[in-house]
């Protein structure tokens, strides 16, 4: 197995997904920290050597670099029980992972970043104009998850998959973005199930 290096900003849920997947699989991973608030992922060296898209996380596998958090989780979990073997279930897992990046992260994670890291006073006018829309869209994403979790323990199949891990990352800290998780008790029960998985590690460690 090649050495694995996670290029990351530790408070990011996108980076945490990868650490959590690796931990659940018992896979050691070395961590290299960048402060995104200081622009450390936009330097010429980072853009040339790690990710031309100027973003973390990036999973380094030997000499190769894999951006996009959910793709990195997929690489780590390939062939493990976290990726269902059934053709429909595997696509359905990816369905939730694309939903996470399209409907959930840009709302739930962005409001957390704006409110808990940048601070509302430091937002641009264009950003402030998006808060109401992102609040509504984030609530809709959480409600959709909660509806699904009313009738099942895990989002896909009979056990935990990357769909659960990837959506857990920003969902369990959604309160930092101004979302009241008490509105969706099914999500609270699902969070407790994930925290009880063998090998679980918290976001801040």
The contact set with its own copies (CB under 8 A) reads 52-53, 61, 64, 66-72, 74-75, 78, 87-88, 90-92, 94-95, 97-99, 101-103, 105-106, 125-126, 129-130, 132-133, 144, 147
CB of 200 to its own copies, least distance (A): 23
Q: Which is nearer to its own copies, 88 or 200 (CB)?
A: 88
Q: Which is nearer to its own copies, 53 or 200 (CB)?
A: 53
Q: CA 33, CA 143: separation in Å to the nearest integer?
A: 34
Residues in the chain: 205
Q: Which is nearer to its own copies, 35 or 86 (CB)?
A: 86
CB of 195 to its own copies, least distance (A): 26
| Longest Cα–Cα distance in the chain | 49
CB of 157 to its own copies, least distance (A): 13
CB of 79 to its own copies, least distance (A): 8
Helix (H, G, I), strand (E, B) or coil at 9: coil
CB of 2 to its own copies, least distance (A): 10
Q: Which is nearer to its own copies, 102 or 200 (CB)?
A: 102
Cα distances (Å, whole numbers) of residue 179 to 40, 80, 81, 143, 194: 29, 33, 31, 11, 20
Q: Which is nearer to its own copies, 24 or 137 (CB)?
A: 137
CB of 52 closer than 8 Å to CB of 46: no
CB of 53 to its own copies, least distance (A): 6
The residue whose two tokens read 């009313």 is: 150
Q: How many Å from the N-terminal Cα to the C-terminal Cα in the chain?
A: 25
Burial of 7 (0-12, 13-18, 19+ CB in 10 A): buried
Buried b / exposed e over 166-188, threshold 16 CB at 10 Å, is bbbbbbbbbebbbbebeebebbe
Q: Which is nearer to its own copies, 78 or 204 (CB)?
A: 78
Q: Radius of gyration (Cα) for the chain, nearest Å?
A: 17
């Amino acid at each position: 197995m090649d050495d694995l290096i996670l290029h990351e900003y530790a408070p990011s849920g996108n980076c945490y997904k990868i650490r959590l997947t690796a931990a659940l699989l018992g896979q050691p991973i070395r961590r290299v920290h960048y402060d995104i608030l200081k622009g450390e992922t936009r330097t010429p060296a980072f853009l040339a050597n790690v990710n031309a898209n100027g973003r973390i996380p990036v999973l380094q596998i030997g000499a190769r670099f894999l951006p996009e958090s959910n793709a990195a989780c997929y690489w780590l979990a390939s062939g493990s029980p976290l990726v269902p073997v059934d053709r429909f279930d595997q696509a359905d897992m990816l369905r939730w992972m694309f939903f996470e990046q399209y409907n959930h992260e840009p709302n739930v994670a962005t409001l957390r970043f704006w409110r808990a890291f940048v601070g509302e006073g430091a937002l641009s006018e264009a950003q402030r104009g998006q808060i109401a829309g992102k609040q509504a869209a984030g609530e809709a994403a959480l409600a959709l998850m909660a509806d699904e979790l009313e009738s099942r323990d895990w989002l896909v199949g009979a056990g935990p998959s990357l769909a659960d891990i990837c959506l857990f990352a920003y969902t369990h800290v959604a309160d930092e973005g101004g979302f009241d998780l008490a509105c969706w008790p099914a999500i609270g029960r699902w969070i407790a199930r994930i925290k009880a998985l063998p090998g679980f590690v918290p976001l801040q460690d």
